Amino acid sequence: MRLVVARCQVDYAGRLTAHLPMATRVLMLKADGSVLVHSDGGSYKPLNWMSPPCTVREGTTDDGHVEWTVTAKSGDSLRILVEEVVHDSQHDLGVDPGLQKDGVEKHLQELLAEHPGTLVEGLTLVRREFPTAIGPVDLMCRDTAGASVAVEIKRRGEIDGVEQLTRYLELLNRDPLLAPVRGIFAAQEIKPQARVLATDRGITCAVLDYDALRGMDDPASRLF
Protein backbone atom coordinates (compact mmCIF):
# COMPACT_ATOMS: atom_id res chain seq x y z
CA MET A 1 0.00 0.00 0.00
CA ARG A 2 1.17 3.51 -0.79
CA LEU A 3 0.19 6.21 1.70
CA VAL A 4 0.48 9.85 0.71
CA VAL A 5 -0.41 12.95 2.71
CA ALA A 6 -0.64 15.83 0.26
CA ARG A 7 -2.22 19.15 -0.47
CA CYS A 8 -4.31 18.28 -3.49
CA GLN A 9 -7.33 18.94 -5.66
CA VAL A 10 -9.54 16.06 -6.77
CA ASP A 11 -11.95 15.93 -9.72
CA TYR A 12 -14.16 12.96 -10.52
CA ALA A 13 -15.83 12.39 -13.88
CA GLY A 14 -18.25 9.58 -14.62
CA ARG A 15 -21.96 9.10 -14.13
CA LEU A 16 -21.76 12.47 -12.39
CA THR A 17 -19.02 14.99 -11.65
CA ALA A 18 -17.56 15.95 -8.28
CA HIS A 19 -14.92 18.43 -7.20
CA LEU A 20 -12.79 18.62 -4.06
CA PRO A 21 -10.97 21.97 -3.84
CA MET A 22 -7.33 22.23 -2.84
CA ALA A 23 -6.74 21.00 0.72
CA THR A 24 -4.52 18.61 2.66
CA ARG A 25 -5.79 15.04 2.42
CA VAL A 26 -4.72 11.41 2.77
CA LEU A 27 -4.37 9.43 -0.46
CA MET A 28 -4.30 5.64 -0.30
CA LEU A 29 -3.26 3.42 -3.21
CA LYS A 30 -3.97 -0.14 -2.12
CA ALA A 31 -2.44 -3.32 -3.48
CA ASP A 32 -5.83 -4.44 -4.80
CA GLY A 33 -5.79 -1.47 -7.19
CA SER A 34 -8.24 0.77 -5.33
CA VAL A 35 -7.57 4.46 -4.73
CA LEU A 36 -9.12 6.34 -1.80
CA VAL A 37 -9.12 9.99 -0.82
CA HIS A 38 -9.64 10.74 2.89
CA SER A 39 -9.95 13.89 4.95
CA ASP A 40 -9.07 14.25 8.63
CA GLY A 41 -12.66 14.51 9.79
CA GLY A 42 -16.33 14.27 8.95
CA SER A 43 -16.58 10.53 8.37
CA TYR A 44 -14.65 7.27 8.28
CA LYS A 45 -15.68 6.93 4.64
CA PRO A 46 -13.44 8.30 1.88
CA LEU A 47 -14.41 11.61 0.27
CA ASN A 48 -13.88 10.01 -3.10
CA TRP A 49 -12.56 6.68 -4.33
CA MET A 50 -12.06 4.41 -7.29
CA SER A 51 -12.76 0.70 -6.93
CA PRO A 52 -10.56 -1.93 -8.56
CA PRO A 53 -9.69 -2.76 -11.22
CA CYS A 54 -8.33 0.62 -12.19
CA THR A 55 -5.10 2.07 -13.56
CA VAL A 56 -3.08 4.90 -12.08
CA ARG A 57 -0.93 7.10 -14.29
CA GLU A 58 1.37 9.65 -12.66
CA GLY A 59 2.58 12.65 -14.63
CA THR A 60 3.19 16.38 -14.37
CA THR A 61 1.22 19.40 -15.51
CA ASP A 62 2.63 22.24 -17.59
CA ASP A 63 3.37 24.21 -14.42
CA GLY A 64 5.29 21.29 -12.89
CA HIS A 65 2.72 19.93 -10.43
CA VAL A 66 2.31 16.20 -9.98
CA GLU A 67 -0.93 14.85 -11.40
CA TRP A 68 -2.44 11.40 -10.93
CA THR A 69 -5.00 10.14 -13.40
CA VAL A 70 -6.99 7.15 -12.12
CA THR A 71 -9.12 5.37 -14.71
CA ALA A 72 -11.64 2.62 -14.00
CA LYS A 73 -12.69 -0.15 -16.35
CA SER A 74 -16.07 1.58 -16.64
CA GLY A 75 -14.40 4.70 -18.01
CA ASP A 76 -14.89 6.77 -14.86
CA SER A 77 -11.85 8.83 -13.95
CA LEU A 78 -10.33 10.52 -10.94
CA ARG A 79 -7.87 13.39 -11.50
CA ILE A 80 -5.73 14.25 -8.47
CA LEU A 81 -3.65 17.41 -8.78
CA VAL A 82 -0.91 17.46 -6.11
CA GLU A 83 0.40 20.86 -5.03
CA GLU A 84 2.58 19.69 -2.13
CA VAL A 85 3.55 16.25 -0.73
CA VAL A 86 3.83 16.15 3.06
CA HIS A 87 4.43 12.42 3.38
CA ASP A 88 4.90 9.55 0.93
CA SER A 89 5.57 5.97 2.03
CA GLN A 90 5.16 2.36 0.90
CA HIS A 91 3.95 -0.38 3.25
CA ASP A 92 3.69 -4.14 2.70
CA LEU A 93 0.78 -5.21 4.88
CA GLY A 94 1.04 -8.89 3.99
CA VAL A 95 -1.89 -11.30 3.91
CA ASP A 96 -4.83 -10.18 6.02
CA PRO A 97 -6.44 -13.00 8.08
CA GLY A 98 -9.84 -11.27 7.95
CA LEU A 99 -12.05 -9.80 10.65
CA GLN A 100 -12.64 -12.05 13.63
CA LYS A 101 -15.61 -10.91 15.70
CA ASP A 102 -16.34 -11.85 19.28
CA GLY A 103 -19.87 -13.11 19.84
CA VAL A 104 -20.73 -13.96 16.25
CA GLU A 105 -23.36 -16.55 15.48
CA LYS A 106 -20.84 -19.41 15.33
CA HIS A 107 -19.60 -18.67 18.86
CA LEU A 108 -23.13 -18.29 20.17
CA GLN A 109 -24.04 -21.60 18.55
CA GLU A 110 -21.05 -23.33 20.15
CA LEU A 111 -21.92 -21.96 23.59
CA LEU A 112 -25.59 -22.88 23.35
CA ALA A 113 -24.71 -26.35 22.05
CA GLU A 114 -22.70 -26.86 25.23
CA HIS A 115 -25.42 -25.43 27.47
CA PRO A 116 -28.83 -25.81 25.78
CA GLY A 117 -30.49 -25.74 29.20
CA THR A 118 -29.89 -21.99 29.35
CA LEU A 119 -32.67 -21.64 26.77
CA VAL A 120 -35.16 -24.01 28.41
CA GLU A 121 -34.56 -26.01 31.56
CA GLY A 122 -33.89 -29.64 30.71
CA LEU A 123 -33.29 -28.99 26.99
CA THR A 124 -30.70 -31.38 25.52
CA LEU A 125 -28.78 -31.22 22.26
CA VAL A 126 -29.47 -33.70 19.48
CA ARG A 127 -27.25 -32.18 16.79
CA ARG A 128 -25.69 -28.95 15.61
CA GLU A 129 -26.36 -27.88 11.99
CA PHE A 130 -29.30 -30.26 11.65
CA PRO A 131 -29.88 -30.67 7.88
CA THR A 132 -33.05 -29.74 6.00
CA ALA A 133 -33.72 -29.45 2.27
CA ILE A 134 -33.23 -25.66 2.43
CA GLY A 135 -30.27 -25.51 4.79
CA PRO A 136 -29.24 -26.53 8.30
CA VAL A 137 -30.99 -25.54 11.51
CA ASP A 138 -28.44 -24.22 14.00
CA LEU A 139 -29.44 -26.59 16.83
CA MET A 140 -31.85 -29.50 17.03
CA CYS A 141 -32.75 -30.29 20.62
CA ARG A 142 -35.24 -32.25 22.75
CA ASP A 143 -37.15 -31.01 25.76
CA THR A 144 -37.88 -32.96 28.94
CA ALA A 145 -40.99 -34.47 27.32
CA GLY A 146 -38.93 -35.77 24.38
CA ALA A 147 -40.39 -33.28 21.89
CA SER A 148 -38.19 -31.79 19.15
CA VAL A 149 -37.08 -28.16 19.42
CA ALA A 150 -35.37 -26.31 16.55
CA VAL A 151 -33.20 -23.35 17.56
CA GLU A 152 -32.16 -20.60 15.15
CA ILE A 153 -29.41 -18.28 16.41
CA LYS A 154 -28.65 -14.72 15.30
CA ARG A 155 -26.64 -11.80 16.64
CA ARG A 156 -29.49 -9.45 15.72
CA GLY A 157 -32.93 -10.95 15.56
CA GLU A 158 -34.91 -9.50 12.69
CA ILE A 159 -37.93 -10.52 10.62
CA ASP A 160 -35.77 -12.38 8.08
CA GLY A 161 -34.51 -14.67 10.82
CA VAL A 162 -38.04 -15.48 11.97
CA GLU A 163 -39.04 -16.24 8.38
CA GLN A 164 -36.02 -18.52 8.05
CA LEU A 165 -36.92 -20.48 11.17
CA THR A 166 -40.56 -20.67 10.01
CA ARG A 167 -39.47 -22.33 6.76
CA TYR A 168 -37.33 -24.81 8.68
CA LEU A 169 -40.23 -25.67 11.00
CA GLU A 170 -42.58 -26.23 8.07
CA LEU A 171 -40.18 -28.80 6.60
CA LEU A 172 -39.26 -30.46 9.89
CA ASN A 173 -42.90 -30.92 10.87
CA ARG A 174 -43.45 -32.96 7.70
CA ASP A 175 -41.19 -35.65 9.15
CA PRO A 176 -43.31 -37.98 11.35
CA LEU A 177 -40.22 -39.01 13.27
CA LEU A 178 -39.64 -35.42 14.39
CA ALA A 179 -43.10 -33.82 14.52
CA PRO A 180 -44.27 -31.92 16.37
CA VAL A 181 -41.30 -29.54 16.24
CA ARG A 182 -41.45 -26.17 17.96
CA GLY A 183 -39.02 -23.32 17.47
CA ILE A 184 -36.85 -21.01 19.56
CA PHE A 185 -35.50 -17.82 17.98
CA ALA A 186 -32.39 -16.82 19.94
CA ALA A 187 -30.41 -13.59 19.51
CA GLN A 188 -28.48 -10.98 21.46
CA GLU A 189 -31.06 -8.43 20.37
CA ILE A 190 -34.51 -9.05 18.91
CA LYS A 191 -36.31 -6.31 17.01
CA PRO A 192 -39.91 -5.61 18.13
CA GLN A 193 -41.34 -6.49 14.71
CA ALA A 194 -39.49 -9.82 14.74
CA ARG A 195 -40.79 -10.58 18.23
CA VAL A 196 -44.39 -9.88 17.18
CA LEU A 197 -44.07 -12.13 14.11
CA ALA A 198 -42.43 -14.93 16.12
CA THR A 199 -45.12 -14.81 18.81
CA ASP A 200 -47.83 -14.90 16.17
CA ARG A 201 -46.29 -18.07 14.74
CA GLY A 202 -45.86 -19.80 18.08
CA ILE A 203 -42.08 -19.35 18.17
CA THR A 204 -40.39 -18.62 21.49
CA CYS A 205 -37.93 -15.69 21.58
CA ALA A 206 -34.77 -15.89 23.69
CA VAL A 207 -32.59 -12.85 24.32
CA LEU A 208 -29.01 -14.03 24.86
CA ASP A 209 -26.47 -12.57 27.25
CA TYR A 210 -23.17 -13.45 25.60
CA ASP A 211 -21.06 -12.65 28.67
CA ALA A 212 -23.28 -14.82 30.83
CA LEU A 213 -22.98 -17.69 28.37
CA ARG A 214 -19.22 -17.46 28.79
CA GLY A 215 -19.68 -17.84 32.53
CA MET A 216 -19.26 -14.16 33.44
CA ASP A 217 -22.77 -13.60 34.72
CA ASP A 218 -26.08 -15.30 35.33
CA PRO A 219 -28.69 -15.94 34.06
CA ALA A 220 -27.48 -16.66 30.54
CA SER A 221 -30.70 -15.71 28.80
CA ARG A 222 -34.11 -14.21 29.34
CA LEU A 223 -37.08 -15.91 27.74
CA PHE A 224 -40.08 -13.99 26.52
CB within 8 A of 148, min separation 6: which ones? Answer: 126, 140, 141, 142, 172, 178, 179, 180, 181, 182
Structural domains in the chain? 2-90 (2.70.180.20), 105-223 (3.40.1350.10)
CA distance 28 to 158: 37
Q: Which residue has the higher pLDDT, 197 or 216?
A: 197
Which pLDDT score, from 0 to 100, does residue 216 have?
44
Q: Mean pLDDT over residues 162-177, rounded?
A: 95
Query: Residues 27-83: pLDDT tens digits?
Result: 999 988 889 999 988 778 899 998 888 899 999 999 889 999 999 988 899 999 999
Question: Mean pLDDT of all residues in the chain?
Answer: 89
Q: Mean pLDDT over residues 157-175, rounded?
A: 95
Which pLDDT score, from 0 to 100, does residue 26 have?
96
Which pLDDT score, from 0 to 100, does residue 103 have?
53
CB within 8 A of 1, min separation 6: which ones? Answer: 28, 29, 30, 31, 90, 91, 92, 93
* Burial of 224 (C-beta count, 10 Å sphere; 0-12/13-18/19+): exposed
Strand pairing partners for 142? 124, 148
